[in-house]
Amino acid sequence: MLLKFLNKYKISNKKLLVSVSGGVDSMVLCDLLIKSNLNYSIAHINYKLRGEESDDDQLFLKKYSTINKLNFYSKSYDLSNYTKSIQSIARDIRYEYLNKIKTQYKYDYILTAHHLDDNIETIFLNLQRGKKNNTFLGIKEFNNYILRPLLELTKEEIINYAIKNDLKWRIDSSNIENKYSRNKIRNLIIPIFKKNNSQFRENFRNLFKISNLQNNIMNSYFDVELSKFFNVDNSGNLTTKKCFWLSFDINSFELDYFQKFGFFNKVELLKIFKSSTGKLMKSNSHSILSNRDQIIIKRNQINDKEEFFLENGINKLPINIKITSLKNASHSKRNEICISENVEKPLKLRKWIRGDFFYPTGMKGKKKLSKFFKDQKLSIFDKQNQWILSDSKNEVLWIVGLRADRRNLVKNGKCLKVSI
């Protein structure tokens, strides 16, 4: 079963982070991963909800990680004083912690031990809460970078494996309490269905397959249709009109389109759509910006270097820029300028710094770059992408492609021509 999963998602050589509680499900997953010789670490959160029992879970896992030579990440959050939405809060804390570890230590995937019975319980919860979209999809086997290898196994199959392989695990005593909605469904409702229909779980397994197949077909169609509402700007960013997306609400499946960019929280998305210029939200892969009547989506880039020294000739990074010596200056244009040979060298290509100012051509006096950008109606992304040509003392010579500083411009005689 696990081998099939590994081949399907090609994770044999990946760095994996496993979310563990110490219960039978997560310990079976860990055992399967160990026997498959996979590179993985484990992470656990102690919510302090069961006193010493919670602390013993943490100690159990610490000992397990030591014996099996696994990296062990753990953290404590005291939720014992919370009375409402504890499971929801705990889930948010858990995934926030897992994502933080994944990013910090560069793990490729997060694995959880959800199984078929968990999935069935989720369907009942969806029905109870009146979920309008994707009600019968349940928990996804693969969601962005989260994988769930045990999702097709039943609880009985997992327990049988654990007993057969003489595994040790912790028991959560709160699972028998019916104060949580999921526990009520597990302990009171589902047993009735199982008693009345021996094929109950198999029927649900088929339902998940059919629902996900139908959903994939629908998503493919709407992906094509919704992409028609996006344009690509000069910087390669996607742009779309706010007014189109403001016609949808939190229950609209159209907002699922943004999941491909890493944006899963529809409430926060709607805040972006309704906000004025400048509101920004980031996912692991993209940034989304409210800019006047538009929404702009930009792929996140890691720039280790944002300052480059230029010499005569062609410089390919970060933009194609050419410096040549001329005996007779040519008229400066948007894509080229002629500057004095006596400027302080070496010339630098850099990003703008707060407080930068220049003496713009065609204007009197000096002007801060921040004010110039505002007058030019540049978005946050445009400002982030804008390159500045300066001398060795950081004095602005040219806002590349937009406006030159008049102090070092040459109209006649020898000069350095800088062009893009």
Rounded CA separation 179/78 (Å): 19
In this predicted structure, what is the pLDDT of residue 146?
A: 93
Residues 287 and 331 in one domain: no
Q: Which two tokens stand for residue 274?
A: 């309704």
Q: Strands of 277-344 (E only): list them.
A: 280-282, 286-291, 294-299, 307-310, 313-315, 321-326, 336-339
Residues 248 and 332 in one domain: no
- Total count of domains within the chain: 3
Read off φ and ψ for residue 342, nearest 5 degrees: -90, 5
pTM for the full predicted model: 0.61
Residues 273 and 379 in one domain: no
Residues 314 and 368 in one domain: yes
In this predicted structure, what is the pLDDT of residue 1?
A: 67
Residues 7 and 114 in one domain: yes
Q: Kindly give, in sequence order, each residue whose CB lies less than 8 Å from that of residue 118, ignoring residues fewer than 6 positions away.
A: 139, 151
Domain annotation covers residue 336: yes
Residues 163 and 122 in one domain: yes
Domain annotation covers residue 180: yes
CATH number at residue 127: 3.40.50.620
Domain annotation covers residue 45: yes
Domain annotation covers residue 223: no
Residues 82 and 168 in one domain: yes
In this predicted structure, what is the pLDDT of residue 305?
A: 57
Residue in 275, 319, 352 with CA at minimum distance from that of residue 418: 319
- Indicate the SS3 state at residue 118: helix
In this predicted structure, what is the pLDDT of residue 132?
A: 65
Boundaries of domain holding 275: 235-299
Domain annotation covers residue 32: yes
Residues 313 and 295 in one domain: no
Residues 161 and 250 in one domain: no
Residues 262 and 324 in one domain: no
In this predicted structure, what is the pLDDT of residue 366?
A: 92
Residues 40 and 169 in one domain: yes
Q: Strands of 228-279 (E only): list them.
A: 230-232, 238-241
Q: 10-residue block means of pLDDT along the chain (420 residues)?
A: 75 92 96 92 94 94 96 91 79 90 93 95 88 78 89 94 96 86 92 91 88 82 88 86 89 84 88 88 87 90 68 64 85 84 88 91 90 89 88 91 91 88
In this predicted structure, what is the pLDDT of residue 88?
A: 82
Domain annotation covers residue 134: yes
| DSSP assignment letter at 353 | -
Bridge-based pairing of strands 142-143 and 40-46 is: unpaired
Residues 134 and 190 in one domain: yes
